[in-house]
């Protein structure tokens, strides 16, 4: 029997992209039930990981902890080598710039064209315009949108809009791409295309974490699958499948 009282060895591993060490999160709403309860997980460079679980299982809480929108009640959250329990406030924007984020609802500037939506991300970090004029077309071509630069995003299809959002997330060359239900608003054909694109991005070296409810895609893609239930990781499988709760 292992001695459960034995002090946990402090592990330091700067190679991890994500390292959660016995993390719990309780909201101050008086219910007392933690949204995440003693979660430990490591995601290494170059991995492609699905995070699945029913509504209320803690997926959004986990994403907010990874982005330092929330802090853990207990345990340590380490992302890209930053200890998010200790990170200084003025360092948070610099930290977040290393993460590309893709949402279910795209969150594009609807009245701007495709080029402007992606260039915006470069302007925020003050990329010189000469470089920007190379980077934006290159990333748009890589997501299959060469030739659509001047189209306003509101006239694009859902699949195309998500490609713009992915290009915007990638243009600053993030180490980690975090996708929150990226295919939640897409039909099955576009869903598959977006997943193929995310897979290609991963093959090119970016670590990709995808939160999803899409059982078919998870089962088809045969990637690592972490399943949350009531704030606990109930399964973490390489080449995993969507666990049916019914």
How far apart are CB 183 and ligand ADP at their closest, in Å? Answer: 16
Name beta bridge partners: 36: 25
How far apart are CB 88 and ligand ADP at their closest, in Å? Answer: 24
Give the DSSP letter string of 69-135.
Answer: SS--SEEEEEETTEETTT--GGGHHHHHTTEEEEETT----TTSBHHHHHHHHHHHTT--HHHHHHH
Strands 224-229 and 232-237: what pairing?
antiparallel
Which spans of this chain sit near ligand ADP (rule: CB under 6 A)? Answer: 27, 29, 35, 53, 55-61
Our CB check for ligand ADP shows the closer of 14 and 55 to be 55
Our CB check for ligand ADP shows the closer of 53 and 159 to be 53
The position carrying tokens 């007392």 is 32
How far apart are CB 23 and ligand ADP at their closest, in Å? Answer: 13
Our CB check for ligand ADP shows the closer of 69 and 173 to be 69
How far apart are CB 206 and ligand ADP at their closest, in Å? Answer: 23
Name beta bridge partners: 103: 180
Is the CA virtual torsion 147, 208, 57, 245 positive or negative? positive
Our CB check for ligand ADP shows the closer of 55 and 126 to be 55
How far apart are CB 63 and ligand ADP at their closest, in Å? Answer: 8
Our CB check for ligand ADP shows the closer of 159 and 182 to be 182
Query: In 3-state terms, what secondary structure has residue 208?
Result: strand
């Amino acid at each position: 029997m292992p001695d459960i009282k034995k002090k946990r060895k402090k592990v330091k591993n700067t190679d991890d992209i994500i390292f959660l060490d016995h993390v719990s999160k309780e909201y101050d709403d008086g219910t007392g039930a933690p949204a995440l309860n003693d979660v430990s997980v490591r995601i290494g460079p170059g991995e492609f990981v699905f995070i699945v679980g029913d509504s209320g299982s803690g997926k959004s809480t986990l994403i907010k902890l990874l982005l330092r929108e929330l802090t853990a009640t207990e345990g340590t959250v380490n992302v890209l080598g930053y200890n998010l329990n200790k990170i200084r406030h003025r360092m948070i924007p610099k930290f977040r710039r290393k993460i590309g984020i893709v949402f279910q609802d795209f969150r594009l500037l609807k009245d701007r064209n495709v080029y402007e939506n992606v260039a915006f991300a470069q302007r925020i970090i003050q990329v010189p315009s000469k470089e920007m004029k190379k980077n934006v077309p290159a990333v748009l071509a890589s997501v299959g949108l060469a030739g659509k630069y001047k189209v306003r995003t509101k006239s694009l299809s859902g699949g195309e809009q998500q490609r713009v959002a992915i290009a915007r997330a990638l243009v600053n060359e993030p180490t980690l791409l975090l996708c929150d239900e990226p295919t939640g608003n897409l039909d099955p054909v576009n869903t598959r295309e977006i997943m193929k694109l995310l897979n290609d991005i991963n093959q090119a070296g970016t670590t990709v974490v995808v939160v999803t409810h899409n059982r078919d895609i998870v089962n088809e893609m045969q990637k690592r699958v972490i399943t949350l239930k009531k704030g606990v990781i109930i399964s973490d499988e390489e080449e995993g499948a969507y666990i049916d709760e019914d």
